Structure 1
Amino acid sequence: MKIKTWLYYANNILKKNKIDFFKLESEILLSFVIKKSKFWIYEFYEKNLNNIQLKKLMHLLNRRIYGEPIAYILGYCEFWSLKIHVSPLTFIPRSDTEILVEHTLKKITFNTKNVLDLGTGTGAIALAIASEYNKLNIIGIDIIPELINIAKNNANKLSIYNVTFIQSNWFSNLNNKKFDIIVSNPPYIEYKDYFYLEKSIKFEPISSLIAEDNGLSNFNSIILQSIKYLNHFGWIILEHSFNQSKQVIKILKEKKFKNIKTCLDYNGNERITYGQKI
């Protein structure tokens, strides 16, 4: 089968199965299997695929049709222009979370030394911040040991050495260390909403998605404990659902945080709320 024939077939079947970016994903899968660039593919699209390539392409295409996220199929995704390796054990970093990195970077001054990433997962947020400020001391924590290993491997592959990854249940293993910035994208989906999520999200670990107390339990815990671990004038920066900003603001106000503000993501949804310990 020629490259152009397979692309035509893949485009049609992905479109039929309601994959939004079907053309792009066809190209990504093909490029992944034959190890050629998109430019090469269209320069030589009359070339034939061999049987081994076709068999692998059909296998990957079927996985995608059944809803498996393309990041799991490839084993990586791009976040903040970094190649982040993922596995079915990890939550897949989203482009919307880059706004969390943006606002964290805006809070960094010449006095900023220590940054904490709570619930680091793949390490994407910590590594993105570290890639911009290599003099910072950044700690990423997660409760799951396998995720800490994945985050460490990502740091090694990216040659980023100013991040330390520690297994911890939120702040439990931090030994009263103080931070200038605490950043987190914790699980915040209500259990009842889980059943309405798109098919691909349900391939991701439920522990990385759902929180109790209408999705607010982690915000309550993180904000309360952060008071002890933040330096004076330190910032807490949180990602939340588009409809949770009022509740997160309320929790921050109850804990006496000041300079509270909610920011929009790239789609115009309320996504980030931050506050300052004064």
Structure 2
Amino acid sequence: MRIDHLLVEATQRLARAGSSSPRLDAEILLGHALAQSRTWLYTWSDREVEDLDRQCFESLLVMREAGQPVAYLIGEREFWGLPLQVARSTLIPRPDTESLVEAALDKATAEQGRMLDLGTGTGAIALAFASERPGWQVVGVDRVPDAVRLARRNGERLGLANASFVESDWFAALEGERFDLVVSNPPYLAPDDPHLAQGDVRFEPASALIADDQGLADLHYLCLTAREHLLPHGWLALEHGMTQDGAVRDVLQRAAYRDVQTRLDLGGRPRVTLACMMP
């Protein structure tokens, strides 16, 4: 079957399966099966697809029809313009998290400094920041060994020598270390959050998604413990759910941070709250 005909059929199947972007999904999966770009698919749309390649595409298509994330199927996701390897041991980087990177960069005005990314996963936040601030030393930590190895591979592939990754349960392996900037996209979904049964989230690791106390437990913990690892006038930046900004600001203010402020994500929803550590 020709490429263009195969894409039409695949798009129809994925639309029936409930994909929110059936044509895009079909193009990405077929490009992966053929080891070609989406542009190549359009340029050579009248080419016949060989049987082995078609079987590979069919396998990917069936898994996508079952709801499995495209990023897991092809093993890659772009974030901040960086191609990152992904794995089922980590969350899939999302565009809204780029708001956290933007907030961190806004506070990183010095030529040099130290930045810490807690729960780094693929290394997306740490590597995006490192790519924009080559004079900064960036450290990403995660308690999952597979995630740490993945983040290291991503850093090596991108050639970002100013980023390093360490296995650590939050600050456990960082005793005595202090940073100019601490950021995190921690678990912030409540155990009964309906989003856990929807879309890609169904296939992502629950430990990276769910927190006790209506999703606020890890956010509260980081607000209180980050003080011990921030330099004077250092900044803490946390991603959170769109209804959690008030609770996060309240904890930060009670913990004697200053300049507490919330930023909106790409959809105009409260997504990142920042606070300054005063001496």
TM over 0.5, shorter chain: yes
The letter of the residue matching 1:103 is A
User: Which residue of structure 2 aligns with residue 179 of structure 1?
Assistant: 179
User: Which residue of structure 2 aligns with residue 45 of structure 1?
Assistant: 45
Q: Find the aligned partners of 2:263 and 2:236 in 1 and give their Cα distance.
A: 14
Contact residue 122 and residue 154 of structure 2 kept, 8 A: yes
Q: Find the aligned partners of 1:111 and 1:38 in 2 and give their Cα distance.
A: 39
* Structure 1: stretches of 5+ with no match in the other structure: none
The letter of the residue matching 1:65 is E
Taking every aligned residue pair, what percent have the same amino acid on both sides?
37
Contact residue 195 and residue 201 of structure 2 kept, 8 A: no
Alpha-carbon deviation of 1:200? 2.2
Q: Find the aligned partners of 1:191 and 1:151 in 2 and give their Cα distance.
A: 27
Alpha-carbon deviation of 1:196? 5.1
User: Which residue of structure 2 aligns with residue 270 of structure 1?
Assistant: 270
* Structure 2: stretches of 5+ with no match in the other structure: none
Question: Cα gap change, 1:77/1:196 in structure 2, threshold over 3 Å: closer, same or farther?
Answer: closer
Q: Find the aligned partners of 1:114 and 1:131 in 2 and give their Cα distance.
A: 14
Contact residue 143 and residue 167 of structure 1 kept, 8 A: yes
**Residues 1:60 and 2:65 are matched in the alignment:** no
Question: Cα gap change, 1:36/1:195 in structure 2, threshold over 3 Å: closer, same or farther?
Answer: closer
Q: Give the 3-state SS of the residue equivalent to 1:173 in structure 2.
A: coil
Q: Find the aligned partners of 1:165 and 1:195 in 2 and give their Cα distance.
A: 30
Residues 107-256 of structure 1 mapped to structure 2, 5 A cutoff = 107-110=107-110, 112-194=112-194, 197-256=197-256
Q: Find the aligned partners of 2:61 and 2:256 in 1 and give their Cα distance.
A: 52
Q: Find the aligned partners of 2:58 and 2:13 in 1 and give their Cα distance.
A: 11
Q: Find the aligned partners of 1:207 and 1:70 in 2 and give their Cα distance.
A: 21
Q: Find the aligned partners of 2:128 and 2:111 in 1 and give their Cα distance.
A: 19
Structure 1's consecutive aligned runs of 4 or more residues displaced over 4 angstroms after TM superposition are: none
Alpha-carbon deviation of 1:111? 6.2
Contact residue 194 and residue 210 of structure 1 kept, 8 A: no
Contact residue 196 and residue 202 of structure 2 kept, 8 A: no
Question: Cα gap change, 1:100/1:195 in structure 2, threshold over 3 Å: closer, same or farther?
Answer: closer
Alpha-carbon deviation of 1:189? 0.2
Q: Find the aligned partners of 1:210 and 1:128 in 2 and give their Cα distance.
A: 24
The letter of the residue matching 2:262 is T
Alpha-carbon deviation of 1:197? 3.6
- Matched residues, number: 278
Residues 53-92 of structure 1 mapped to structure 2, 5 A cutoff = 53-92=53-92
The TM-score, its normalising length taken from structure 2, stands at 0.97
Q: Give the 3-state SS of the residue equivalent to 1:191 in structure 2.
A: coil
Deviations along 1:152-176, one digit per CA (max 9) or x if unpaired, are 1111111111112111111111121
